[in-house]
Every structure is written in structure tokens, then in C-alpha cells.
Amino acid sequence: PRSGDIPAHIGGTTLFGDNVEDEWFIVYLVREITREFPGLAARIDDNDGEFLLIEAADFLPKWLNPENSDNRVFFYKGELHIIPLSETEEQERDLSAASPTISQALTLLSTRSEEFLAAEPIRTAVYKRISGYPEKIQASFHRAHCYLPAGIVAVLRQRPSLVAAAVQAFYLRDPVDLRACRSFQTFPPDERVMALVTFTKCLYAQLVQQKFVPDRRSGYTLPVPSHPQYKAYELGMKLAHGFEILCSKCSKVSPDSKRNVFSGPLWERFLGSLKEKNYFKGEMEGSAKYLELLHMAEDYFQQSVTKPESSVEASPGDEILTLLQATTIDLKELEREAADLPPEDDDSWLEITPDDLDQMLKEARNEPLPSSNEEEQKYDLEAVAESMKAFVSKVSTHEGAEMPWSSDESHVTFDVESFTKALDRILGADSEELDSDDLDEEEEFDFSDEDDEDLDAENQRQDQEVSPNELIGSLKSYMNEMDRELAHTNVGKSFTTQKKGASSVKATTSQSAGPDSGAEDTELTPVDVDMNLVANLLESYSAQSGLAGPASNILQSMGVYLPENADHTGSNSRATE
């Protein structure tokens, strides 16, 4: 029903657990509902927030952030829509603007939906996750043979979806849950039959991959692992434990609360209606047949009349016990069917080789698949250097750094005049205020000597008279002195310098000037920035040993993919050469 500003609507919550694909299946269903019924608008989120925007995060407009994204993302007429900022908010660039209310969003969608259609890259990213449906539904199932108690087989025939709750109960069991599995009061192992059970692939993997040994007191025993039906016995044992745990957690209705349910006017009217329709067939009150019919009526009243809306919220254990009471189990019929079961599905999909995993990851990231011919795999190391330069030139804030998608972007520009003015402001006499630490130091020491003040004033006048070009020349000479000092250290020797052939004219000039100057020029041979950058990146990439790391993450985010380091030692040196 309507609640405040939120109009009356259909809504729901699903616990999808570890199977994220179930969440995207729901997205597919919601989209198809809005396509089938054009008058409906739908929004969907999860515990991460607007996960549809997270999926398309690389293509979102800059104004859209988690603080203002509420009630902006909708499916309408089968398409994804994003309600933008109002014209006033956009002109003021107010990114902290409040999100629209549901009513405001619905009004905008109904009148101007064409303007709010999400951009093509955003829709493509979202629709890619739900592509393949409805055909993908059948591909997500797995059918397996399970040796189960007859009661569980009967329950699953009526409610196949209860297998999910049972697997979850076994998967998340704790020592308290396993206490109920010592005696198995609901599903003893005495009457078991073979059955074909349908799981989702996620549920099947959760069940089959867990190692578990049943309690000896439970009565559940397993054949030797070499037995042809060992897997069916093991799966059935685990599933039986899940069902028993669910039943042990079912709500225990106290006699007092039950008596209160059947003492109200609603029950009196219901019972009077049954008597008028000759439900008890003339049986005397208190007789065995009368009491049997009365208990059936009470069960129906509890499940259907007193809480019709919340019946779906009943615990799975209550539902299982109710189905058991209302179901007649024909053991012989189940055994006859077990003798002619269809074959189970192949579960080789559980085993994934490293190559398969790499291919899956590359497809998920839209990477180009590697060529089968190694000679065709040419990697341009210049692109690596250019990408890093483009990355460094991007804007960086407290929210992170912008990643360049292509190394073809314009190179970093350097404005000499603005740089000179900036240096003049920093190093000149135009500083308007001092750091608080500097003030403290001045208070600590006495600078009252008149000679010192005169000297400071003279220095300031000299600084003001220094031209920008002289200032840059002085800075360069200072940096050259630093380079000469570092050249003799391990830090200086660790860098790769440019080859001598690149500056043969300078080399000849330096040799004719004398041995000392020649040695000095050799020491100050310019560092090959690109070579050092690529060499360090490759060394970092090699140290990752095939795992995720900073080098591969940064490069892949910029669309640069390095080859696999097959021989670990030779690939880096070969690529560097």
C-alpha cells in the first residue's frame, strides 16, 4: 500500500546468496515485465546500492555519484533510464543535490522518458550481463542422482524449490544444527530411494565440494568411494542433513498461542460455515473421525485464513512438515521409478584449467584473445611508456585517478611562462604568509640583530631583480650539480642512460676538451626515461608471478595487455632489448 511519498507498488526482496547470476536473472525478469507492461516503471538495487550503475561505472557521467543516485535509475518500457540533474542544479554544478522523490521520478518518466534514456555504453554494459536469457535458464541447471529418504523425494516433487533452502542449511551448518542430525527424527535413513534432483549449478557445487562425514549415531552410512553410486549416496546424505536441519528449526507453536488462534470470532464463523455445509458428515463431537476432520480444518485455517499474506514467509521447515502431513508416500511406486531414472548431467564443468580461467577473465574484461601463433603476438613497448605518461597527466583527486582509455591522447603540454611565474611566486619575495612552523621558529630564536636585517633586505632586493630566465638557469645548474653527485652512487648507476650513438656530436666535442670533461660528460649522459619506465614495469610484472598486481592492474585499466611471462627470466630481458 501507499506509504508517505511512495505510491502503492509491487515489491519484493530476494536472498540470492553466493549465486550472483540469480540477481541478474531477476534484472532480466524486471526488464521484461516493463517491456510487456509499458505503463510500469521498475527500479532495483541490492546491498551494494545501485549495482546497475556499478556495472556501468566506466561510462557514467561525472555528475552521477552514490550520494545523488537514489531514485534516478529505472527500467521503463524495457529500457534503462537515468534521470539527470535539473537544469538549475546542472548550471550551478551542484553535485550534492538531493535525489528526486519516487513521485517526482515517476512524473518525469511518464512525460519526458525519451530525454532520460541512458547512454548507449551504459545500456550496453548492463544488457551484456543479462544477455542470453531466457535460454541461459536451462543452462544453469544441473540434474544429479541422489539416494534420499522417501519423504524428501515426496516433498521435492511438490516443491522442487525447497532444495535451495536445504542446501543452504547444510552449507551454513554449525555444531548446534548438527545436534538434530544425530537421531534424524523427521527423515530417518531406513526408507531411502534413488531420485533425480534438479539443482542450480551453484547449489550443486556448494553441496558436492564440501567434505562431510556423518555422525555414526545418525544411521547414514556411505559405501566405499570406488562404489559406482558413491556420489549419489553422498549427495543424498548431505541433502538429508539439510532437510533435517530445516525441520529442527521450524517454529514450535505453543498450546496457548494455538488456543488463542481458535478462540476468536473469525474461527467461530469459519467453524459455523463448515457445520452448515455438513463438513463433519454428521459425526458426533469428540469422536475420532470428528477430531480428525477438525484437525484438518484447523491446519487449513492456520495456513490460509489467519495469515494468507504471510504464508509465503513461513519457514521452510514448517512448509516441509506441512507437506509431509498432507502427502501419502507410496514407497513401492518410488522404487519402481528409481529403477528407470534418466541419466544425470555431466559435472565436468566443475573442473576449470588455468587456461580456461584466463580465457574467462579476458572475455569478462573484453580483452583481445591471444593469437595461436607466437610470432603474431607483437607487443609495442612504446605504447606502455606513452600510456603511463598519459596516466600521469590525468587529474587525480581524493576519489581516485582518471584512467586514460587510449595512449593516442594528446601529450603533456608544458607552458614555460606559467611555470616561470609559479617558480617566481614560490622562490621570490611575493610570499604573503609564512607557515605556522616558521612562525614558531622565529619566536624561538632572536633575529633582532640589525646587520642580519640589512642583509635579509639586500637579499630580497636581489631576488626581486633576478629575471625569470636567470632563475631557471640557476635552477638547472643546481640540478646538474645534484646529478653529478648522484652519478657516483648506486642510485645513479641503477638507471639506464641513452646510448652514446644518439649524441655522437656531443661525445666528440667532449673528448676533444680533455679527459676530465669527457668523463664528466659520460657521467651526465641523459637518463633514458622510457627505457627505465618500461624496464621497471616489466620487472614488477614479472614479480607478480601471474597474479594480480599494481603493474598489470594499471596497464590493463588503460587497455595495455602484456604477454604472459612464460620463462620468467628470459621474457623481461628479451622484451626490454
Same domain? For 222 and 116 the reply is no
User: Which one is predicted more confidently, 524 or 483?
Assistant: 483
User: Which one is predicted more confidently, 95 or 371?
Assistant: 95
Q: Across all residues in the chain, what is the average pLDDT?
A: 77
Same domain? For 157 and 247 the reply is yes
- What domain range is 274 assigned to? 263-299
User: Which one is predicted more confidently, 571 or 284?
Assistant: 284
Residue 96 lies in a domain: yes
* pLDDT tens for each residue of 344-356: 999 999 998 888 8
pLDDT at residue 410 tops 80: no
* pLDDT tens for each residue of 249-302: 886 544 444 455 566 677 888 888 888 888 888 888 888 888 888 888 887 877
Same domain? For 166 and 113 the reply is no
User: Which one is predicted more confidently, 467 or 122?
Assistant: 122
* pLDDT tens for each residue of 193-234: 999 999 999 999 999 998 998 888 888 888 999 999 999 999
pLDDT at residue 3 tops 50: yes
Any idea which of 19-33, 53-67, 319-333, 516-530 has the lowest mean pLDDT? 516-530
The three grid cell numbers given for residue 157, joined into one nine-digit string: 516433487
Q: SS3 of 467, please?
A: coil
pLDDT at residue 476 tops 60: yes
SS3 content of the chain, % helix, strand, coil (to 5): 55, 5, 40
Same domain? For 185 and 325 the reply is yes
Show which of 131, 153, 179 is a domain's final residue.
Answer: 131
Q: What is the mean pLDDT of residues 460-486?
A: 73
Confidence of residue 77 (pLDDT cuts 50, 70, 90): very high
Q: How far apart are CA 316 and CA 329, in angstroms?
A: 20
Same domain? For 114 and 240 the reply is no
Any idea which of 203-212, 246-255, 409-418, 513-522 has the lowest mean pLDDT? 513-522
pLDDT at residue 480 tops 50: yes
Same domain? For 163 and 208 the reply is yes
List the Cα angle 253/257/260 in 5-degree steps: 145
Count of domains in the chain?
A: 3
**What is the reported pLDDT for 430?**
47
Same domain? For 295 and 211 the reply is no
Residue environment code for 485-509, b if the CB has 16+ CB neighbours within 10 A, otherwise e: eebeeeebeebebeeeeeeeeebee
Residue 462 lies in a domain: no
The three grid cell numbers given for residue 330, joined into one nine-digit string: 507410496
Same domain? For 187 and 326 the reply is yes
Residue 379 lies in a domain: no
Residue 536 lies in a domain: no
pLDDT at residue 114 tops 60: yes
**What is the reported pLDDT for 512?**
41
Same domain? For 197 and 53 the reply is no
Residue 206 lies in a domain: yes
Same domain? For 30 and 163 the reply is no
Residue 483 lies in a domain: no
Beta-carbon neighbour count of residue 378 at 10 Å? 8
**What is the reported pLDDT for 375?**
44
Confidence of residue 171 (pLDDT cuts 50, 70, 90): very high
Residue 554 lies in a domain: no
Same domain? For 231 and 321 the reply is yes
